[in-house]
Amino acid sequence: TDRRISGFKPTGALQLGNYLGAIAPVVRGQHAQPTVVFVADLHALTVPHDPHRLRELSLQVAGLLLAAGVDPRRSVLYRQSDLPAHAELHYLLECVAGYGEVHRMIQFKEKGGGSGTRLSLLTYPVLMAADILLHDIAEVPVGRDQRQHVELTRDLALRFNERYGPVFTVPRAVLPEVAARVADLADPTAKMGKTNASTNGVLFLLDPPDVLRRKIMRAVTDAGTEVGYDPERKPGVSNLLDLLSACTGEAPERIAPQYHSYGSLKAATADAVIAMLEPIQRRYHELTESDIETALEQGADRARERADATVQRVKSAMGLSRHT
């Protein structure tokens, strides 16, 4: 059966887009499909960071993944920097990737280019490709913002296989049906993100219920008064409908006619989000640091064998080390 992988960058606290776009789909799928989940701490070094805070955030991300239902007996959950194979495959794939195709990535165009831009921000998608290809992955559940990076991963896998022989499984991105791009509540044209400049429109998984409610009640909506699902013309209202839909499982088009004012839609969305996050927050606060560290260490032990075997195959195919 098809193996899946999902990664989370500890550059800030996890937010609802992370949950709906990737965590929830991974948790739902882990009983049917072998699953790898990891804290992408090497990726967090691509931007300025405080080392102490990075270590804390890595643990927080891992703890929230456990609290959200990642089952460490079923899924392999680990911290990227505990497995040297990521960095080793990253370099080998840099010898397959082209400067032009990496430079064209939308996220680099948006975030990079200024003075002080780290070289690692440019090569970031190649590290992401290494993360995926290391584990013979077929499916990558991600939000829409990561789709282009998975496309690049496909291109690199196909090119490698053509050039050096069939070494890699060729993966594809899997996007959720709703909430593939949760928007910032204060600016529905922007993506909800861990590191958005203002946190007014970002629902963090660990925000207390009153904070969640306040942010949702103050969400920017659109002209008019009618609740309708139209992401192009009514991005604010449609974003709320997406959130409520993701919480209840009912399609946004069917939810819309049930509400006759923006206020009642917001109140229902707040109730649903708070109810969904409450058990996750409770389980998170029950976990100790050593519970989390133990899970991560055991996960790395389980991930190591396959990762090392992949690197060996790659090196051998490329003419490095002893032929196997």
Q: Is 269 in the site for ligand TYM (CB under 6 A)?
A: no
Residue 236 binds to ligand TYM (criterion: CB under 6 A)? no
What H or E segment, with its residue span, contains residue 150? helix 147-164
User: Quick one: 151 or 316, whose CB is closer to ligand TYM?
Assistant: 151
C-alpha torsion sign, points 226, 230, 233, 236: positive
Residue 145 binds to ligand TYM (criterion: CB under 6 A):
yes
Task: Give residues 22-61 in contact with ligand TYM (rule: CB under 6 A).
Answer: 22, 40, 43
Dihedrals phi, psi of 91, to nearest 5 degrees: -65, -45
User: Would you put residue 224 in left (φ > 0), alpha (ψ -120 to 50) or beta?
Assistant: left
145 is in an annotated binding site: yes
Neighbours of 310 (CB within 10 A): 21
What are the C-alpha distances in Å from 270 to residues 26, 73, 125? 24, 33, 35
Q: Is the Cβ–Cβ distance between 200 and 218 less than 8 Å?
A: yes
d(CA 21, CA 242): 11
Q: Tell the smallest beta-carbon distance from residue 17 to ligand TYM (Å).
A: 2
Q: Helices 147-164 and 119-133, interaxial angle, to 10°?
A: 70
131 binds ligand TYM (CB under 6 A): yes
Annotated binding-site residue? 18: yes
Compute how many residues bind ligand TYM; rule: CB under 6 A.
26
Q: Which is nearer to ligand TYM, 111 or 159 (CB)?
A: 111
Which residue from 4, 13, 17, 152 is in contact with ligand TYM, where contact means CB under 6 A? Answer: 17
Residue 6 found at the interface with ligand TYM (CB under 6 A): yes
The β-bridge relationship of strands 139-141 and 172-174 is: parallel
Residue 194 bears catalytic tag: yes
Residue 313 interacts with ligand TYM (CB under 6 A): yes or no: no
Pattern 169-188, binding to ligand TYM, x per CB under 6 A?
----------xxxx------
Is residue 12 within the footprint of ligand TYM (CB under 6 A)? Answer: no
Of 18-26, 234-242, 254-262, 301-309, the window that binds ligand TYM (rule: CB under 6 A) is 18-26
Annotated ligand binding at 48? The verdict is no
3 state DSSP class of 4: strand
The reply on whether position 89 binds ligand TYM by CB under 6 A is no
Q: How far apart are CA 211 and CA 199, in angstroms?
A: 11
Residue 4 annotated as lining a ligand binding site: no
Q: Indicate which residue of 194, 215, 234, 266 is catalytic.
A: 194
175: left (phi over 0), alpha (psi -120 to 50) or beta: beta
In whole angstroms, what is the distance from residue 318 CA to residue 163 CA? 9
Among 34, 63, 72, 143, binds ligand TYM (CB under 6 A): 143
Cβ of residue 36: shortest distance to ligand TYM, in angstroms? 9
Q: 127: which residues sit within 8 A by CB, 6+ positions away?
A: 42, 43, 86, 87, 90, 120
Q: How many CB atoms lie within 10 A of CB 22?
A: 24
Per CB under 6 A, the list member of 126, 132, 156, 292 interacting with ligand TYM is 132
Residue 8 sits in the site that holds ligand TYM (CB under 6 A): yes
Token digits of residue 162: 């053509």
Instruction: Determine whether 191 is an active site residue.
Output: yes
Is the Cβ of residue 112 or residue 143 nearer to ligand TYM in the bound state?
143
List, as residue ranges, the binding site.
Answer: 9-11, 17-18, 131, 143-145, 182
Which residues carry out catalysis? 111, 191, 194
Residues in touch with ligand TYM (CB under 6 A): 5-9, 17-18, 21-22, 40, 43, 128, 131-132, 140, 142-143, 145-146, 179-182, 191-193
